[in-house]
Amino acid sequence: MQKKLSTTLVLFTIFFFCSTSNAQTAQTIKHGKYTLHISGNDDKFSTQLTQRLIDVFFIVYPQLAKEYNKKTLKEVTFFIDTTYHGVAATDNGRVVFSSAYMTKHPGDVDVVTHEVMHIVQNYSESVGPGWLTEGIADFARNKFGVDNAGAKWSMPDYKPTQHYDNAYRITARFLVWIEKNKKTGFVKKVDAALRKHTYTGAIWEKLTGKNVDALWEEYSKNSAI
């Protein structure tokens, strides 16, 4: 009995060591009504950078929730992944960050802001276009980001080669222009329609008096924001 117990203990110890030797220490942090679980498989990932990601989450996520969706998830998971080769991706309340990208670009902490906006958006099987989803996420990053300057991240000036459906920063800048020149609160209303699955292309004209193509045409002639 004693010999069998010892063998089991050794096997468990070996399994535990192999399972955790290449992993980051998992953390669960709760501030107010929001909880963040953060872990990863890169044991060399900077602890200082991990803390910055945590800090950005707790600064930004409550603001995004208040602005766009108070019913958003109260628990979010971050995972720092050595096997993911993009920048970051979000699904079902879980954000995967590329450890290689974040290590190479430690100033780009507002990747957090963009990705957790996707959690707040919660469009599910949206009836809206993907370019608009990404444009709204970058609109939120531009408005709520804590250190876009540190990442040298900004929205690009208008160029004739652009189109409103280029997504991300190009669409975000167009949305900023609409907010400033046509309809304050436009993005909040479109975001809500996307979440309720009531979005149609007619919403652009309903809210601004012009359809999206006419708005883009006007923007192209005077794109100052």
Region 191-209: mean pLDDT is 97
- The pLDDT tens digits of the residues spanning 157-199 come to 999 999 999 999 999 999 999 999 999 999 999 999 999 999 9
CA 22/CA 37 separation, integer angstroms: 18
Question: What's the mean pLDDT when you consider all of the chain?
Answer: 91
* Domain finish residue from 74, 103, 122: 122
Min mean pLDDT across 6-20, 73-87, 102-116, 132-146 is at 6-20
Decide: residue 64, CB within 10 A, 0-12 exposed, 13-18 middle, 19+ buried. Answer: buried
Residues 134 and 219 in one domain: yes
For 72, the domain range is: 25-122
Contact of 24 with 41, CB cutoff 8 Å: yes
Residues 115 and 131 in one domain: no
Residues 223 and 130 in one domain: yes
**Contacts for 201-204 with beta carbons within 8 Å, 24 or more apart?**
none
**Which has more confidence, 96 or 9?**
96
Residues 136 and 224 in one domain: yes
> Is position 9 within any domain?
no
In the chain, the number of structural domains is 2
Quick check: 16 pLDDT over 70?
A: no
Residues 149 and 217 in one domain: yes
- The pLDDT tens digits of the residues spanning 18-66 come to 333 457 899 999 999 999 999 999 999 999 999 999 999 999 999 999 9
pTM: 0.89
CATH number of the domain residue 38 falls in? 1.10.390.10
Region 91-104: mean pLDDT is 98
Residues 116 and 160 in one domain: no
> Is position 15 within any domain?
no
Cβ count within 10 A of residue 86 = 11
